[in-house]
Amino acid sequence: NKKLVMIPGPTPVVRSIQDQMGRETVAFGDPAFVKDYKELIDDLKLLWKTEGEVFVIAGTGTLAMEMAIANTTKAGDNVLIISQGFFGDRFIDLCQRKGLKVDVLASEWGDVVPLAEIEAKLKEKKYSVVTVTHVDTATGVVAPIEEIGKLIRGFKDTLYIVDGVCATAAEPEYVDEMGIDVLLTGSQKAFGVAPGIAVVWAGPRAMERRKSLGTIPEFYIDFDKWLPIMKDPSKYFATPAVNLIWAMKEAVQIIKEEGLEKRYLRHKKNAKAVQSALLALGFKILAKEGCRAVSLSNVIYPEGINDLEFRKILAEEGIVVAGGLGPYAGKLFRLGHMGNIDTHDLVSAIATIERALYRVGYHVELGKGVGVLMKGLLD
Ligand code: PMP
């Protein structure tokens, strides 16, 4: 069987994006490439709506997290980390190593941190930055980033960092309007590009903060080093990932053709249909109703299904999914449904999950999930 990779990133890469990665690499000073890079930068600023800047550099989501923190804080600053799982927690170690004083508000896995708790914490102490993970890939929980942004705006000098690695281009994010100061993401999830590009939007307040910090200890991820290149990509600081920049440009072209708002709606509809189908088959979804992400589902097995056996058979049948993390290792699988996947992929995924269930001896009426899915997709 052909294998469809339905993990929550990297997501399937469509042919036109693959073609960009397969192109003959040119010099980074090549005028045509410089023009493409500049257009990509301008489009990303326009689409995600910031009057500030965007940085598009070689790296992954983790590098983007580090870049966000490096350019907005100095050792000794207070940081509030709002965590809804494994990737929210990743900010803890990252910030502690930098000598930041860290407070954490963590939810139960599957739930969000209540706004009132965040507000109480903000009133207690002055924080340089607050970090929120828009969608935590370990839990499939989506945070109410707009409401949190409104809260933070009430506290002068506190910047708002949003990790959009598993959300950007799937869940609505409007940088300035939502009061976001830094939004960060990677190429391999809802953009549908191979891993390797980090994107960091920095609103006007974040750029001001960077200025106030003077020289920072970090080098490669310093906004000041990259800003001249983002304004004029014919300049050099460090070699851009030429083919991945082209791939990102093609991904943004696809987004513009689809329409970003329509893309958000498609993700919402697909997620609802997929999740209804999975529930109909006897699975549970880890994220509570009301805070379920549109980009992936964390799917809890019914009693008696062995995770490794199920995922092995599922892969044999043609669908690759990811295992659970932390306390949910062995208890759930993670199914990505973001990016440039289409109806065919979704129907295949649910049909294949039914075949795998059948093969592990969990008898469901074949076609039951597919029926629910198709109804959801048609509604
Ligand atoms: N944040 C979130 C929400 C993620 O899902 C991930 C990756 N799964 C990361 C950060 C880290 O990104 P990367 O693996 O690209 O470094």
- Of the candidates 247, 170, 241, 173, the residue with the CA atom closest to the CA atom of residue 203: 173
- Of the candidates 64, 91, 2, 10, the residue with the CA atom closest to the CA atom of residue 296: 10
- Domain that residue 95 falls in: 15-257
Using the atom order of ligand 1, give the atom closest to the CA of residue 60.
15
Tokens of 155: 């506290």
| End-to-end CA separation in angstroms for the chain | 31
Q: Are 174 and 273 part of one and the same domain?
A: no
pLDDT by residue, tens only, the chain of 379 residues: 889 999 999 999 999 999 999 999 999 999 999 999 999 999 999 999 999 999 999 999 999 999 999 999 999 999 999 999 999 999 999 999 999 999 999 999 999 999 999 999 999 999 999 999 999 999 999 999 999 999 999 999 999 999 999 999 999 999 999 999 999 999 999 999 999 999 999 999 999 999 999 999 999 999 999 999 999 999 999 999 999 999 999 999 999 999 999 999 999 999 999 999 999 999 999 999 999 999 999 999 999 999 999 999 999 999 999 999 999 999 999 999 999 999 999 999 999 999 999 999 998 999 999 999 999 999 8
- What beta strand segments (E) does the chain contain? 4-5, 53-58, 78-83, 101-106, 129-133, 135-136, 141-142, 159-163, 182-186, 197-202, 284-285, 296-300, 319-320, 322-323, 332-336
Instruction: Let me know: does 229 contact 237? Beta carbons within 8 Å.
Output: yes
Q: Are 229 and 317 part of one and the same domain?
A: no
Q: Are 212 and 274 part of one and the same domain?
A: no
Q: Is 311 annotated as a binding residue?
A: no
Which helix H or strand E contains 64, and what residues bound it? helix 61-70
CB 164 near ligand 1, within 6 Å? no
Residue 2 pLDDT: 87
CB 137 near ligand 1, within 6 Å? yes
Q: Are 73 and 198 part of one and the same domain?
A: yes
CB 165 near ligand 1, within 6 Å? yes
Q: Are 205 and 305 part of one and the same domain?
A: no
CATH number, domain of 141, equals: 3.40.640.10
Ligand 1 center from residue 165 Cα (angstroms): 6
Instruction: Let me know: does 81 contact 215? Beta carbons within 8 Å.
Output: no
Distance CA 338, CA 189 (A): 7
- Of the candidates 128, 149, 133, 228, the residue with the CA atom closest to the CA atom of residue 186: 133
Residue 19 pLDDT: 98
The last residue of one of the domains, among 257, 281, 315, is 257
Q: Are 293 and 304 part of one and the same domain?
A: yes
Strands ordered across the beta sheet of 332-336: 284-285, 296-300, 332-336, 322-323
Predicted TM-score (pTM) of the model is: 0.98
CATH number, domain of 317, equals: 3.90.1150.10
Q: Beta strand pairing status for 322-323 and 319-320?
A: unpaired
